[in-house]
Amino acid sequence: MFEIWVEKYRPKRLNEIIDQKHVVERLKYFVKGKTIPHMIFAGPPGTGKTCCAIAIARELFGENWRQNFQETNASDMRGIDVIRTRVKNFSRTKPIGSEFKIIFLDESDALTPDAQNALRRLMEMYADITRFILSCNYSSSIIPPIQSRAAVFRFKLLSKENVFTYLERTIKAEKLKVDKGALEAIYNISEGDLRKATNILQASAILGKKITEDVIYEVSAQAEPEDVKKMISYALNGKFLDAREVLKELLLKRGISGQDIIKQISNQIYDLEISERAKVELIEKVGDFESRLNQGGNEQIQLESLLAQLALYKE
C-alpha cells in the first residue's frame, strides 16, 4: 500500500527480532510446542512487543495468520463496551485450521479496571480456544488477577548497538549513505524506540541519499516546532492570552498532538531562567498534566491549565 519502512522492515520471524533474547527464546519454545499461554508484554515503546505478537502468529498459523489474530487498541476503543462486544465476539468464534486464536490488546494500560475485569472473565471462559496477549508500558497497570493468569514478558529498552544493528539492515537494503554522527543523532532523538528511529531515517532519506547529522536534526526540527518554545516563553512572561493563542494554533490548526507538546515542555524546563526549586515544581506539574492527558483529559483545556500554572512562575 504505502512504502513505509516501519512496516517494510518489520521483523517477520522471531529470529529477526532485535535483542530481547530472554523473551525470544521462550517464545520460540512455545511455538515449537504449538501452544502459548496468555501473555503480557511490558516495556517501552518501539522495543518489539507488537512485532513479537505478530511473529508468533505467523509462525503458528502460517500464511493465513490474520484469520486467527485480532488486533485491538485500548486507546482507540477505551470503554468496557469494546471488551464486551468486539473482543468477546472474536473470543467466541471457532479458530480456523488451528486449535486456538490470538487476541492482541495493545496499549492495555489505557483499559479501566472495570474493562480489565470484564477481560479477565473472557480469558477464563474462552481459554481453550482463545489466547490473549496484552501489551503495555507498565505491567503494574494491569490488575493482579490478569497478571496471575498470564506470563509476563519484560521488553528492555534497546541499547545503542541494537538500534544501529536494526538500522543497518534498512540502510543496506535501501542503499543509503549514513555517517556515524547521523546514527548517533537518530539514537539520541529516538531514545531506543525503533519505530521512531526508522521514521526519522526514512524522512531524512527523502531529502537525499546521503544522510548527515545536520539532516537528522533538520528533519526532527520539522517535527518539533519552534512555536512550542514561543508559547512557553509567552506563558512565563505573564502573557497568558498570547500563549493560549499559540496553543490553539498548534492543536487545532496544525494537529500537533498534546503528548508531543507536553514532552517538549518538559524537555525545556531545565533550560529556563528560573530557580532550581521552581524547575522541580514545574516538572511535577508537567507530570501531573501528562497523567491527566493519559486519563483521557482534553488536550486543549489541560494544556491551557498547564500554561496558566506556568504563568505563575515569571521568568
State how far Cα 225 lies from the chain centre: 21
Q: What minimum distance in Å lies between the beta carbon of 277 and other proteins?
A: 18
Closer to other proteins by Cβ: residue 80 or 129: 80
Q: What minimum distance in Å lies between the beta carbon of 173 and other proteins?
A: 16
Binding site for other proteins (CB under 8 A): 1-2, 4-7, 10, 45, 50, 54, 71, 73-76, 78-81, 106-107, 112, 114, 195-196, 199-200, 202-203, 206, 219, 222-224, 238, 240-241, 244, 248, 252-253, 255-257, 259-260, 289, 292, 295-298, 300-302, 304-305, 308-309, 311-312
> What DSSP character marks residue 253?
I
The grid coordinates listed for 60 are: 503458528
Cell 523473551 -> residue: 23
The grid coordinates listed for 41 are: 508484554
Q: What minimum distance in Å lies between the beta carbon of 241 and other proteins?
A: 6
β-sheet bridge partners, residue 153: 41
**Residue 19 dihedral angles phi and psi, to the nearest 5°:** 55, -140
Residue in 197, 203, 219, 184 with CA at minimum distance from that of residue 44: 197
Q: How many residues does the chain have?
A: 315
Closer to other proteins by Cβ: residue 6 or 171: 6
Q: Is 193 helix (H, G, I), strand (E, B) or coil?
A: coil
Distance CA 107, CA 92 (A): 22
Closer to other proteins by Cβ: residue 161 or 315: 315
Closer to other proteins by Cβ: residue 158 or 236: 236
Q: What minimum distance in Å lies between the beta carbon of 140 and other proteins?
A: 19
Distance CA 47, CA 21 (A): 12
Closer to other proteins by Cβ: residue 185 or 200: 200
Q: What minimum distance in Å lies between the beta carbon of 273 and other proteins?
A: 18
